[in-house]
Structure 1
């Protein structure tokens, strides 16, 4: 199982690097554009990813989110400052990566806080590692959307 944990965490790091590279390539104006007609903007997607990725810490019990105010901004239709958002993205990833780098293999395989003991006994894949794995897949979906913004001037 140790190799599986290592592979998933390695892919997490790679996904963060790739998505960060895409964000770095995009101008602030490109991030403010919609990925397609009547779809979310790059700013919305990046804000959403910060919120969802930080939530990993809460759901696993490894820490607490620091940027919960961003969720309120999204709900109220307000877009955060793009430069501040870029900084928050990088800081959030550094913080998450520092925390998960020190998690033991045993803790990765424990139940997360959103599942009951009874349900976990029925399905032990509802563990902390699967939270990271599901967020990894989610992040890559949005990375594809952000990639579409590269063609928008």
Structure 2
């Protein structure tokens, strides 16, 4: 598969698993503390990813990794953890059919951040698509 389609396949897989995450998460937080639910989910992720890295023999010495990678991966981990804590609490309090689309406003925010901080170039389809995501999330949240 050419590289161009390879990223698309993984992105579609991400969307599928994110959808399942919302459904399973909504069912999983019933009757328990949302922070505990997030902790359990995190432990499962650690075990699964450690297994994948082990099977694929992709372990590297942490000291050999560049400092900037450590800094940004730690920041990403903090952001992920805070996102998950908010997400699971929102799932506990609201309907999954509204929580998940609002959570996906992250897509529009990533577009803005990519333009502002990563020097990505805007295009008409990108701006229209981002605007439609925001509009769709607003319709879902307000009606």
- Higher relative CO (Cα under 8 Å, sequence separation at least 6) belongs to 1
TM-score, L = length of structure 2 = 0.29
Q: Which has the larger radius of gyration?
A: 2
Structure with greater proportional helix content:
2
